[in-house]
Amino acid sequence: MKELLEKFENKHPEIVFEWHDSETEAIGWVVINSLRGGAAGGGTRMRVGLDKREVESLAKTMEIKFSVSGPAIGGAKSGINFDPKDPRKEGVLQRWYKAVAPLLKNYYGTGGDMNVDEIHEVIPITEDCGIWHPQEGVFTGHFQPTEPQKINRIGQLRYGVIKVLEDEKYTPSLSRKYTVADMITGYGVACGVFNFYDIWGKGEADYKGKRAIIQGWGNVASAAAFYLAQKGVKIVGILDKEGALLKEEGFSFEEIKQLFLDKNGNQLSATNMLSFEEAEQKIWDFGVEIFIPAAASRLVQQSQIERMIKGGLEVVSCGANVPFADKEIFLGKTLEYADKNVAIIPDFIANCGMARVFAYLMSNDDVDMSDEGIFEDTSTIIKNALEKTHSRNKNKTGLVETSFEIALEQLV
């Protein structure tokens, strides 16, 4: 597996597009690791300090993710080094998508990612650039549809991704109008936990009443907490960069739902928050079975994992891409340690929800567009991936290494 991984990591990406904004200091890259299957896909992120290396590593991560979620295409990513809080952000994105429009027309599909919103930014801005949908390039390059098929499936994508959820099983509020895109990735992260206990344990009897820490409170983290609490998992700690909440006996489902609704953008908002620094000293020794790292990449330290293992940690479902603090793209020292000592559901399985929704909505001309149809498809894909891992590895450790082996056999 390590030889396959080294070969995959060291392969140069097929296409690297670099852009320098004419009106600001913004610099952007599209990295296409390969045009496997005639196309490549990956979202657009923006943050201060982002560099080409980060975009390259995320493009490779996307290629492995597509081996789970489908379609069978190459991995790509867009990244812009710019402050997302800068009032010039909209203009930067408009010029960026205009520059990359030829790629989006022919062989590259994108979506939202860190600090770039799928519904309010990516879709309307790309439409203004003459792109039918941000995934149009995947249609053109991979599916090669007839014109009627293209029109129908793009219609499914346009409707499905921004579909307002109507089933209270999948939304924290029927009046707030949360969409598939808002909730699906966190749902998949929670499904990773449920499916782990279903396959390696005794199902609901195993996870109900278990204690969990959530790192982050953006869309992925808060949605994962909502679905975990809904099924009886006790959220005892939420660690966000702006502050934290700890509760030894666990927050009730209604409390978690209210914290979700009270979010300030992507930030935790409550009257009784501890400082990040104060909570960070305590939270890793809280004694939990479930950990959801769903904030930024490369935050989780080995010492934190060690402290949680001493407290009875059983499973980590990775909501963030590359959540462990390693310089390596995939399997660094921290992740290797964690994988040898606890069950780790890797990011390319746990957080594949949005990629799977795209694949699901563009794969056929007549898919089930109900909330249940879309969400249960994602759950099934994650369950199938974990069952493949379990078929090779019945242990509760080494899941990352086994899952990588299965993915890389398709790619290298």
Inform me whether the pLDDT recorded for 114 exceeds 90: no
Mean pLDDT value across residues 58-67: 95
Inform me whether the pLDDT recorded for 360 exceeds 90: yes
Q: In whole angstroms, how far apart are CA 192 and each of 9, 36, 240, 347?
A: 25, 27, 22, 10
Question: Where in the chain is CATH 3.40.50.720?
Answer: 180-409
- Tell me the average pLDDT of the chain: 95
Mean pLDDT value across residues 111-134: 94
Mean pLDDT value across residues 360-367: 88
Q: Which amino acid is at 366?
A: D
**What was the pLDDT predicted at 364?**
83
Pairing mode, strands 108-109 and 40-41:
parallel
Q: Is 49 helix (H, G, I), strand (E, B) or coil?
A: coil
Inform me whether the pLDDT recorded for 403 exceeds 90: yes
Q: Band the pLDDT of 295: cuts 50, 70, 90.
A: very high
Inform me whether the pLDDT recorded for 150 exceeds 90: no
Strand ranges, E, within 86-157: 108-109
Inform me whether the pLDDT recorded for 47 exceeds 90: yes
Inform me whether the pLDDT recorded for 329 exceeds 90: no
pLDDT digits (tens, 9 = 90+) for 212-253: 999 999 999 999 999 999 999 999 999 998 899 999 999 999
The Cα 261–Cα 255 span in angstroms is 10
Pick the residue with more confidence: 363 or 90?
90
Question: Where in the chain is CATH 3.40.50.10860?
Answer: 11-144
Homologous superfamily in CATH for domain 180-409? NAD(P)-binding Rossmann-like Domain (3.40.50.720)
Assign domain 11-144 one CATH number from 3.90.25.10, 3.30.300.30, 3.40.50.10860, 3.10.290.10.
3.40.50.10860
pTM of the shown model:
0.93
- 250's enclosing H/E stretch is strand 243-251
Q: Please write down the HEC assignment for all residues of 52-67.
A: HHHHHHHHHHHHHHHH
Other beta carbons less than 10 A from residue 351's beta carbon: 29
